[in-house]
Structure 1
Amino acid sequence: MFRRRRRAEEETAPAVREDSPAPARTTGPWDAADDYPEAERVDLGGLRLPVDPRFEIQLRVDGDQITGVIVLLGESLLQVQAVAAPKRNGIWDEMRADAVRDVTAAGGALEERDGPFGPELVGRAPAQGQTEPQPVRFLGVDGPRWFLQAVISGPAAAGGEAGDVLEDVVRGIVVVRGDEPMPPREVIPLRLPADRQPADEQAPGREELRPFERGPEISEIR
């Protein structure tokens, strides 16, 4: 009797569905496992960043660790940082809430809108060396076990040709998360290009690199 009941329960029980694979990406930023288009990029370890002679690349350094990348284009700049994220849940929703809280507390203002990468934040935020809040735009992309945040500030935050150039930089980024366990929001390690050596020191805390015969300069900002 018990066997018969158990067999009946098995026949009527709903089938357990396995998680369907994530859809293939059709645009960047890319994961290192994606079939992403070839382009000239500088290998910074956790990020492979597109290069272009129109802009300069700087590396932000905290102690002995490179924590982010800055792309300078005229009077505009793009700040990029990749962090670890949970396997199943993205963190952009909570990161947007954090950004709104922090910018508002500092005297700026942000509002949410839909952009080419999904939800984003636009508005004005205090900037170092400026007396008035400056135009700013927060972009975020949840990837497989990583999150990429890009902040555009200056004239490019309002769009135009400079905005298009910096958006294309974000689209061309490849994130190399690695397999090692990392807590959420821990910065994915970056490094200097393996085949490049720093030139003479130009100023305290800043080393100029020329990783290409033509194209952007890479420098460290501490």
Structure 2
Amino acid sequence: MAFGFGRKNKNSVDEPEGLEPAAVDVDEDGKVIAGPDMLDLPPNPADTVYERELHGPLDSSEVEGTDGYVDLGALLITPREGLSLRLEVEESTARVIAVTLDLNGSSLQLQAFAASRSEKLWRDIREQIGLSVGSQGGEIEILDGTFGKEVLAKVPALSSDGSKGFRVARFIGIDGPRWFLRGVLGGNAAVDSEAAQELEDLFRGVVVVRGETPLPPRDLLLLRLPKDAVAGPQGDLAADHASPAQGGEPFRRGPEITAIG
């Protein structure tokens, strides 16, 4: 497993990011002929309620210890062969604002936020994502997905060869005890359920460490570099227990960030 750093300036944090290119083709009139309109994401029944306490992600009070996890402060991640982690650093404050997990050509960005004991954030945040994506001429669809309600976002974009297409992402959210965890699936995992399975498993295995410090709702929970990570060649960071040679691409671009607040 490998670690790396990415940097975001203040303006980029406010953009509707989290939208990695997916395989989308359009005809001369701009109509989608393959890609997000042909999603392989079987929905759950509309009345299904995702039971976090049974399936994860978990609160730190619900696990016996932190041994075996990659400790990022507010988030504990289950290591896996071939997994690459990148910490996203906000340039204006030098604080770590997200971690992106890259695995088998897809990515999962994670951010954890403070929440009150009674208020659930995910409904309002779904609406905020819709407004942000809509302001760029994109569109969203609310799905009954793996973790309950999810947001599929599509924003017009040009491919590398200049043809029209979309950037696509799946936003997933979990309300926990005094915290909210958001994930953004990019790459093939945004449009293909089989490609998403391993990253969804990683999402279920996340442990959120809320801490006892009073924080306003929607404040980011503090992330940090693991204690056993060391600097490697070309600026990548590798953990002592997992070398980059095991797989992963520490500098592959992951989903970007949509502000919450």
Please tell me the TM-score bracket, short chain as reference. Answer: 0.7 to 0.9
Distance in 1 (alpha carbons) for counterparts of 2:52 and 2:138: 37
Tell me if the contact between 2:170 and 2:190 (Cα under 8 Å) persists in the aligned partners. Answer: yes
Q: Highest CA radius of gyration, 1 or 2?
A: 1
**Same amino acid, percent of matched pairs:** 36
Taking structure 1 as reference, are residues 109 and 24 closer, same or farther at Cα in structure 2, changes over 3 Å only?
Answer: closer
Q: Does 1:114 align with 2:144?
A: yes
Tell me if the contact between 1:198 and 1:208 (Cα under 8 Å) persists in the aligned partners. Answer: yes
Cα deviation code 1:98-149 (max 9, x no counterpart) = 0011011112211111122111111423579866322211100000110000
- CA drift of 1:73 comes to 2.2
Unaligned residue ranges in structure 1 (runs of 5+): 1-22
- CA drift of 1:34 comes to 0.7
Quote the residue 2:206 is aligned against: 173
Q: Aligned runs of 1:199-218 on 2, under 5 Å?
A: 199-200=232-233, 202=234, 207-211=235-239, 212-214=241-243, 215=246
Q: Does 1:49 align with 2:77?
A: yes
Tell me if the contact between 1:209 and 1:218 (Cα under 8 Å) persists in the aligned partners. Answer: no
Tell me if the contact between 1:140 and 1:149 (Cα under 8 Å) persists in the aligned partners. Answer: yes
- CA drift of 1:87 comes to 1.4
Tell me if the contact between 2:158 and 2:165 (Cα under 8 Å) persists in the aligned partners. Answer: no
Q: Does 1:32 align with 2:94?
A: no
CA RMSD of aligned residues (A): 2.7
How does the TM-score come out when normalised to structure 2? 0.67
Amino acid at match of 2:151: L
Taking structure 1 as reference, are residues 39 and 150 closer, same or farther at Cα in structure 2, changes over 3 Å only?
Answer: farther
Taking structure 1 as reference, are residues 173 and 67 closer, same or farther at Cα in structure 2, changes over 3 Å only?
Answer: same
Taking structure 1 as reference, are residues 191 and 37 closer, same or farther at Cα in structure 2, changes over 3 Å only?
Answer: closer
Taking structure 1 as reference, are residues 186 and 219 closer, same or farther at Cα in structure 2, changes over 3 Å only?
Answer: farther
Quote the residue 1:183 is aligned against: 216
Q: Which residue, 175, 182, 186 being the options, matches 1:142?
A: 175
Q: Tell me, what secondary structure is at the counterpart of 1:197?
A: strand
Higher relative contact order (CA 8 A, sep 6+): 2
How does the TM-score come out when normalised to structure 1? 0.78
Quote the residue 1:68 is aligned against: 98
Q: Tell me, what secondary structure is at the counterpart of 2:130?
A: helix
Amino acid at match of 2:139: A
Tell me if the contact between 1:84 and 1:182 (Cα under 8 Å) persists in the aligned partners. Answer: yes
Number of aligned positions between the proteins: 195
Tell me if the contact between 1:208 and 1:217 (Cα under 8 Å) persists in the aligned partners. Answer: no
Unaligned residue ranges in structure 2 (runs of 5+): 1-50, 254-261
Tell me if the contact between 2:152 and 2:170 (Cα under 8 Å) persists in the aligned partners. Answer: yes
Distance in 2 (alpha carbons) for counterparts of 1:125 and 1:50: 31
